[in-house]
Structure 1
Amino acid sequence: MNAYMTNGTLDFLRKLPDKHPDIDFYFMRENASTLVYYESEKKSIFASGRSYEVILQNSTLKDNGFVVMNNIPVADDGKATFEDKFKQRRQNVESMPGFQAFRLLRPKKGNTYIVMTQWASEADFENWKNSDQFKQAHKEGSNVKPPAYFLDRPFVTSYRMIDLEETDQTN
């Protein structure tokens, strides 16, 4: 399975479902930026976007909620190690209240993996971050040097899902 995403204005991106009715698009907003995401076995429909292979997943994405993307730049020679460590790690995230979905995305170009989780609300994500399960899963801690296979420090982006029908009613 492949995952595709691109950024743009909501006015431009909201036309996608009409042009491609067979695709389930997920619309997300971070401040003034809009991101659209979808999964397919087919080639991307985006002229300029990012392509990934879904290598781990849990549950189905929802049209509502709070999405967190942990962007992790990984060196070519460390990709297998990174994926193996991730596959072996049992984070118990799925059992946390408010958990909706999970994806580990391998980049088709470049080196930045995305660990994506979807939550019912931002408060549910914050509860996970403050949980013992989170501390156990991230026991390396933020003060320790990242693994050698990290090219750079990971960074997090977060989004709120957009319900296009609700935005249609408010415009």
Structure 2
Amino acid sequence: MNMYIVTNRIDVPAERAAAFEERFIGNMRNNLSKVAGLSRATLDRPAEEGTPYKVTMEFEAESDFEAWKNSEAFRASHTRPAAADAAPAEKPKNEDVRSATGIERHIRIETYQAAQA
């Protein structure tokens, strides 16, 4: 079985890490069960300062990923907090292509696993 795997790297300032994790994990728990074709999603915390968080989503097909990007669940997961002091969006830039420069170490802090049919 082929999978379509998407990985995002998200730079989060150390002073905002706890709030980012809480919000991200809440979104995973509340929204991912609504995503058709999503088999698994993980959030990995960087083990070393200066390394981005890593998010991996495993879809059954590329079309499932495209549908996710256009879904209400996607919009709900990417809504910014209303707080006046909210951090700027932690969003990867498509033009920010990083070359492989060595090993990045991460600690898995959350996994969403779809229920088996």
Q: Same fold (TM over 0.5)?
A: yes
Shift, 1:126, TM fit? 0.4
Alpha carbons of 1:131 and 1:106: their partners in 2 closer, same or farther (altered >3 Å)?
same
Shift, 1:113, TM fit? 0.2
Q: Which runs of 5+ in 1 are unaligned?
A: 1-62, 141-145, 158-171
Q: Which has the larger radius of gyration?
A: 1
Alpha carbons of 1:93 and 1:118: their partners in 2 closer, same or farther (altered >3 Å)?
same
User: Which structure's relative contact order is higher, taking Cα pairs within 8 Å and 6+ residues apart?
Assistant: 2
Q: Distance in 2 between matches of 1:147 and 1:138?
A: 13
The alignment of Structure 1 onto Structure 2 pairs a total of residues equal to 88
Q: Deviations over 1:135-155 (max 9, x none)?
A: 121123xxxxx82585xx424
Alpha carbons of 1:129 and 1:155: their partners in 2 closer, same or farther (altered >3 Å)?
same
Provide TM-score, normalisation by structure 2: 0.63
Q: Distance in 1 between matches of 2:54 and 2:16?
A: 15
Structural RMSD (CA):
2.5
Matched, 1:147 2:82: no
Matched, 1:112 2:52: yes
Aligned equivalent of 1:100: 39
Shift, 1:91, TM fit? 4.5
- Asked whether the 8 Å contact 2:9–2:52 carries over to 1, the reply is yes
Q: Distance in 1 between matches of 2:76 and 2:23?
A: 14
Bigger share in strand: 1
Q: Distance in 1 between matches of 2:43 and 2:25?
A: 10
- Asked whether the 8 Å contact 1:93–1:128 carries over to 2, the reply is no
